[in-house]
Chain A
Amino acid sequence: MKPVNIAFDNVLKASPEAFLKSWIEEVAHSGEGSSGSNARVAQNEARELLSALQDAVRDGADLTQFGSDAWSKTRAVLAELSQSRAAQGASAGETSYFVMAIKKPLFAGLQQLISIDPQQVFDTVWAASTLVDKMAQWTATTYQRSREQVIKRQQQELLELSTPVVKLWEGVLAAPMIGTLDSSRTQLVMESLLQRIVETGSELAIIDITGVPTVDTLVAQHLLKTVTAIRLMGADCIISGIRPQIAQTIVQLGIDLQGITTKATLADALSLAMKRSGWVVSRAIG
C-alpha cells in the first residue's frame, strides 16, 4: 500500500461513527443538507459510501485514478445516490455538496495523523482533494444524466399523448393536433394517421388544427405533405379549425392550400364527411 493509502485507511477506520457525524453535520450546516425525515436516509447513504471508500483504499486503489476499475464500487454507490436524489427532486448543488462535505472530517483526520514532512502533507492533501473533487464531479454527471433521462421520457410521453387518432364515424378518422407542430410531431401524426387508415379502411381523415397556436411555412409544408400522403394511400383529407389569425398568416406567407378541403370547425368537417359518404342526419322531434 502507498503511504497516502495508509494514511487514508487510518483516517477512515479510526472512528467511523465520529467521522460520519462530522460529515452529516457539515452537510446540515451548509444549509444544502436534507431536512428532517431525509436525515436518516442521508446517514445511511454516507455510511454506504464510506464503506465503499474504505474497501477501495484498502485494496490499494490509486487515489488519482478515480476512473479505474478499483473504484467501480464507489462509483456505483455514488451513481445510485445521485439517481435517487434526482428522482426526489434534490438540486444538483445539494447532491454534489453531500459528497464534497466529506472533506471536513477527512482533512481533520489527516491533520491529526500525518507527519510534519511538508512534502508528505502536500501529497496527502492533494490526493484527498483530487479524489473528493472527482467523486463530486462523478456524482454531478450521473445526477445530470438521470435528470436528462427523466426529461427525455417525459418528452416521449408528451409526444404520444398529444397525437391521438380517433374514429369519428364509420369511415371517418380525426387527428386533433394540439401544441406546436414540428417535424418529429408531424411525422408521428402522419405515421399513426396513415396506419389507422390502413387498419380501419377509412376513406376520410380530418386534421383539426384548432389547438395549433401558430402556423409558419414549415408547418404548412408538413400539413401539405401529410395531405399528399393520405391522398396517395387512396383516402381523402379535410383540414379544419384554421383560426382567423392563422388564415391571415397563411395568406400573407403566400402558402397555396388549393386542392385541400378546409373547414372552419371540426363539426363542419364531420358534416361534410358524412354528406360525402351519403349520410343524412335529421332531428327526430321538431
Chain B
Amino acid sequence: MERIPVLQMGKCLLVTIQVDMQDQTAILLQDDLAVKISGSGATGVLIDISSLEIVDSFIGRMLAGIAAVLGATTVVVGMQPAVAITLVELGLSLEGVRTALNVERGMTLLRRADGGDLDF
C-alpha cells in the first residue's frame, strides 16, 4: 500500500502527491492528515498536486473534504489544466478550498491567512 508522506514545516503541513491516487491511498492520507494536525497543532495544510494527472469524483470529493479537517487552512497548489477541467465537468468546484499556482505562492497565502505568525 502506497502511503503519501505528510511533512511538517513549522506550523504548516506539506503533502506532495506524486503517485496516481487510489481510493485507499486517499482515505489513508485523510486519516494521516487528521492525526498529524491534531498531534502537531498545525494551522495550515499545503497539498501539492502538480504531478497528479488523473482525478475521479472520489479524489475530487476528498480534496474538497480535506478543507474541513480540524479547522486548518488548506491550500491546493499546482493543479494541472486537465485536472481542473475534469473537476469542473464533474461539478466539483471545491468551494472553501484555497488554490494557488505553485508551492511558493501557496506558502505566501498560508502565511497571510495565519496573520503572519507562521514562521518556517
**A joins B in a complex:** yes
Which residues of A come within 8 Å of B, CB atoms?
190-191, 194-195, 197-198, 201, 203, 225, 228-235
Bound together, the chains give a CA A228 to CA B102 distance in angstroms of 18
**B87 contacts across to A, CB distance below 8 A:** 229, 232
Task: Give B82 Cβ to nearest chain A Cβ, in Å.
Answer: 8
Determine if A229 and B84 form an interchain contact, defined as CB atoms under 8 angstroms apart: yes
Residues of A within 8 A of B81 (CB): 191, 194-195, 197-198, 229, 233
Would you give the shortest CB distance from A234 to chain B, in whole angstroms?
4
Query: Hey, which bits of chain B sit against chain A, CB under 8 A?
Result: 76-81, 83-85, 87-89, 93-94, 99-102, 105-106
For A171, give the chain B residue with the smallest CB separation.
B101
Q: Are B101 and A232 in contact (CB under 8 A)?
A: no
- Using CB atoms, name the residue of chain B closest to A195: B81
Give the residue name and chain of the A residue nearest to B87 (CB).
A232
B83 contact set on A, CB distance < 8 A = 232
A220 to B102, CA, bound (A): 29
Q: B102 touching A232 by the CB < 8 A rule?
A: no
Q: Are B80 and A198 neighbours in the complex by a CB distance under 8 Å?
A: yes
Query: In the bound complex, how far is the Cα of B89 from the Cα of A229, in angstroms?
Result: 9
Interface of B is mostly: mixed
Residues in B whose Cβ lies below 8 Å from that of A201: 101-102
- Complex CA distance for A46 and B116, rounded to whole angstroms: 85
Nearest Cβ on chain A to B16's Cβ, whole angstroms? 16
Check B79–A233 contact: CB distance below 8 A: yes
Least CB distance from B83 to A in Å reads 8
Task: Pick from B84, B89, B93: contact of A233, CB below 8 A.
Answer: B84
CA A264 – CA B45 in complex, angstroms? 37
Q: Are A234 and B85 in contact (CB under 8 A)?
A: no
Secondary structure class of chain A's binding surface, majority of residues: helix
Provide the residues of chain A in CB contact with B78, threshold 8 Å.
234
Q: Who on chain A is nearest to B86 by CB? A: A229
Distance from B71 Cβ to chain A, minimum over Cβ atoms (Å):
22
Which 4 pairs, one residue from A and one from B, show the smallest C-beta to C-beta distance? A194-B81, A234-B99, A234-B100, A229-B84
Residue of A nearest to B60 (CB): A232
Given the complex, which residues of B lie within 8 Å of A231, measured CB to CB?
93, 99
State which of A190, A195, A232 has its C-beta within 8 Å of the C-beta of B79: A232
Q: Which residues of B contact A203 (CB under 8 A)?
A: 101, 105
CB pair B102–A233 under 8 Å, yes or no, is no
Answer whether A232 and B80 are a contact pair too, CB < 8 Å, given A190-B85, A191-B85, A225-B88: no
Contact A234 B80 (CB under 8 A): no
**A to B CB contacts below 8 Å, 28 in the list:** A190-B85, A194-B81, A194-B85, A197-B81, A198-B80, A198-B81, A198-B101, A201-B101, A201-B102, A203-B105, A225-B88, A229-B81, A229-B85, A229-B87, A229-B88, A230-B84, A231-B93, A232-B76, A232-B79, A232-B83, A232-B84, A232-B88, A233-B81, A233-B99, A234-B78, A234-B101, A234-B102, A234-B105
Chain B min CB distance to A81 (Å): 45
Complex: chain A residue closest to B105, CB-CB = A234
What is the minimal beta-carbon distance from B104 to any residue of chain A, in angstroms? 10
Residues of A within 8 A of B80 (CB): 198
What residues on B are CB-neighbors of A190 within 8 Å? 85
Give Cα distance in the complex from A232 to B93, angstroms.
7
Contacting residues, chain B, for A225 (C-beta < 8 A): 88-89
B101–A235 CB distance below 8 A: yes
The reply to whether A228 and B101 contact each other, CB–CB distance below 8 Å, is no
**Complex contacts, A233 vs chain B, CB 8 Å:** 79, 81, 84, 99, 101
Among B81, B85, B89, chain A packs the most CB atoms within 10 A around the CB of B81
